[in-house]
């Protein structure tokens, strides 16, 4: 499969104390090779492997193996950022490595997103006669973190493949359920250019459907009256103008009628007086 032939790329980090089996886990997953001799990681290294799910989606898992030494703590914090998942290791035959888990968990809480997938892996299951950490202890810690828990032997490649593929599937499920935005790099996800275009197109089509399907708000009677007033402002302003004109005309008519009334009041007595004068004189 071509190195760039994928829809999604997921970043996973492997963390834990020195010598807990991180590099061996990585070698088994990518190369199918068990590391016989312990060779501590200096700084960090990473490997990639692509898998194809039943629906045809190809995911490239990029696994970063960080050194467990305290002198590389700054590097560890940096590369724990923007991770889709973290696999945290301890050895069942090392109580000290189990006690250190809380420090590694604290680092993740400081720099990772709230959607990071955390998996607790206890190695050296084949060394049962040297066990120092009980299975219930590891499981209780994982339950408190709402994380998956596995006890493994680094000789078991099938189990290692199953762990990584399960994490990859869970991240893909979060993307499909819109709980992770693959365009946001803080979630440790990268899309191919073609997948990014398809994703953007789907979002655009979804937004258009939402706009088309959204119902028009019901209008109340008061809203309709307000709307009518807004539509015909001239009618509203014309009415008081006519009323004022009518008032002015009425006042003018009244002023014109006042002299007529007053003149009538004067002439009538004069005419009556003149008629009486004619009659009696």
| Percentage, residues of the chain above pLDDT 90 | 49
- On average, the pLDDT of the chain sits at 78
Q: How far apart are CA 132 and CA 94, in angstroms?
A: 6
Helix 22-31 crosses helix 157-176 at what angle (to 10 degrees)? 80
Query: What pLDDT does 241 receive?
Result: 44
Total count of residues recorded for the chain: 281
> Is pTM, for the whole model, over 0.85?
no
Least confident window among 7-16, 24-33, 67-76:
67-76
- Decide if domain 8-197 falls under CATH 3.90.1150.10: no
Kindly tell me if the per-residue pLDDT of 51 is higher than 80.
yes
Average pLDDT over residues 85-112: 94
Residue 147: name the closest of 124, 125, 166, 134 by CA.
166
Which helix (H) or strand (E) segment holds residue 12: the answer is strand 8-16
Q: What does the domain layout of the chain look like in residue ranges?
A: 8-197, 241-281
What does the buried/exposed string (b/e) look like for 104-134 if buried means 16 or more CB atoms within 10 Å of the residue's CB?
Answer: bbebbeebbbebbbbbbbbbbbeeeeebebe
> At 38, is the secondary structure helix, strand, or coil?
coil
Q: How far apart are CA 12 and CA 64, in angstroms?
A: 6
Q: How far apart are CA 118 and CA 138, in angstroms?
A: 13
Q: How far apart are CA 77 and CA 20, in angstroms?
A: 19
Kindly tell me if the per-residue pLDDT of 224 is higher than 90.
no
Query: What pLDDT does 230 receive?
Result: 37
Query: What pLDDT does 61 receive?
Result: 96
| Percentage, residues of the chain above pLDDT 70 | 65
β-strand 148-151 against 58-66: which pairing, if any?
A: unpaired
Q: What count of other Cβ atoms lies within 10 Å of the Cβ of residue 204? A: 10
Q: How far apart are CA 175 and CA 118, in angstroms?
A: 17
Give pLDDT tens digits for 137-163: 999 999 999 999 999 999 999 999 999
Q: How far apart are CA 45 and CA 23, in angstroms?
A: 9
- Structure confidence at residue 250 as a pLDDT band (50, 70, 90): low
């Amino acid at each position: 499969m071509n190195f760039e032939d994928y829809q999604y790329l997921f970043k996973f980090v492997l963390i834990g104390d020195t010598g807990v089996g991180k590099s061996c886990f990585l070698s088994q997953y990518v190369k199918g090779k068990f590391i016989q001799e312990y060779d501590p990681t200096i700084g960090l290294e990473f490997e990639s492997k692509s898998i194809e799910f039943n629906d045809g989606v190809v995911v490239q898992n990029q696994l970063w193996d960080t050194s467990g030494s305290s002198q590389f703590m700054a590097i560890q914090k940096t590369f724990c950022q923007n991770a889709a998942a973290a696999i945290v290791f301890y050895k069942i035959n090392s109580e000290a490595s189990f006690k250190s888990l809380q420090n590694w968990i604290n680092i993740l809480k400081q720099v990772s997103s709230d959607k990071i997938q955390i998996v607790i892996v206890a190695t050296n299951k084949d060394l049962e006669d040297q066990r120092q950490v009980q299975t219930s202890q590891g499981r209780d810690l994982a339950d408190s973190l709402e994380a998956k828990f596995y006890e493994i032997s680094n000789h078991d490649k099938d189990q290692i493949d199953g762990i990584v593929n399960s994490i990859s599937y869970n991240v893909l499920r979060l993307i499909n359920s819109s709980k992770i935005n693959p365009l946001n790099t803080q979630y440790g996800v990268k899309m191919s250019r073609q997948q990014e275009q398809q994703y953007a197109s789907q979002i655009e089509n979804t937004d258009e459907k939402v706009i088309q399907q959204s119902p028009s708000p019901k209008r109340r009677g008061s809203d309709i009256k307000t709307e009518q007033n807004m539509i015909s402002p001239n009618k509203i302003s014309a009415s008081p103008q006519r009323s004022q004109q009518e008032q002015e005309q009425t006042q003018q008519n009244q002023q014109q009628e006042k002299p007529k009334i007053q003149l009538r009041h004067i002439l009538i007595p004069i005419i009556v007086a003149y008629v009486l004068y004619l009659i009696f004189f």
